[in-house]
Amino acid sequence: MRAEFVVLVDDDGNEIGTAPKAEVHSAETPLHRAFSCHVFDGAGRVLVTRRALTKRAWPGVWTNAFCGHPEPGEGDLDAIDRRARQELGLEVRDVRVVDPGFRYRATDSAGIVENELCPVYRATAASDIEPDPREVDQWRWMDPADLASIVRLAPHLVSPWLVGQAAASPHLLSERERTHT
Tell me which residues are annotated as active site.
Answer: 67, 116
CB 8 within 8 A of CB 31: yes
Please give the angle made by the CA atoms of 56, 62 and 64, to the nearest 5 degrees.
100
Residues 6+ away with beta carbon under 8 Å from 31: 8, 9, 10, 11, 115, 116, 117
The CA distance from 104 to 138, in Å, is 25
DSSP 16: E
Nearest alpha carbon to residue 123 among 61, 43, 65, 50:
65
